[in-house]
């Protein structure tokens, strides 16, 4: 059973490919997508930071800016944490694929399909 070709994993593959995070994606394509995503988030974060600095001294205005700045910074941290741990993610997908190939019994395959359907 080629588990990574399953309909549930193809959805994950599409999403990860769009974000430049699929472990088997070409390096040039990954780097281009990562650059675009980083520039997109920074283009949102820059005006928010400028507005925060303009509100310096106005506590109400500063408090309104803090959540959005925090969300974008945490998003970048999370994105780059995944990017720096790509070897672990690649190993995880290799293990998933190996375990999927080990399924020989038809009953085991049906159990796996039911579990995958629960999470989709």
- Compare 90 and 103 and report the one with higher pLDDT: 90
Q: How confident is the model at residue 2 (pLDDT cuts 50, 70, 90)?
A: low
Whole-model pTM above 0.75? Answer: no
Torsion of CA 113, 5, 3, 80, to 10 degrees: -110
Among 9-13, 23-27, 40-44, which is the least confidently predicted range?
A: 9-13
pLDDT of residue 28: 95
- The predicted-structure confidence for 97-110, as pLDDT tens digits, reads as follows 887 777 777 887 77
> What span, in angstroms and rounded, lies between the C-alpha atoms of 14 and 22?
8
Query: Bigger pLDDT: 116 or 13?
Result: 13
């Amino acid at each position: 059973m080629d588990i990574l070709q399953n309909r549930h994993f193809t959805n994950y593959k599409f999403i990860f490919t769009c974000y430049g995070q699929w472990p088997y994606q070409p390096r040039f394509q990954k780097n281009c997508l990562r650059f675009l995503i980083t520039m997109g988030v920074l283009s949102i974060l820059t005006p928010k930071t400028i507005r925060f600095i303009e509100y310096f001294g106005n506590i109400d205005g500063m408090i309104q800016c803090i959540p959005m700045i925090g969300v974008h910074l945490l998003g970048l941290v999370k994105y780059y944490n995944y990017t720096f741990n790509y070897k672990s993610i690649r190993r995880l997908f290799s293990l998933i694929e190996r375990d999927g190939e080990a399924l020989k019994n038809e009953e085991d395959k049906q159990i796996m399909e039911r579990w995958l359907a629960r999470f989709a």
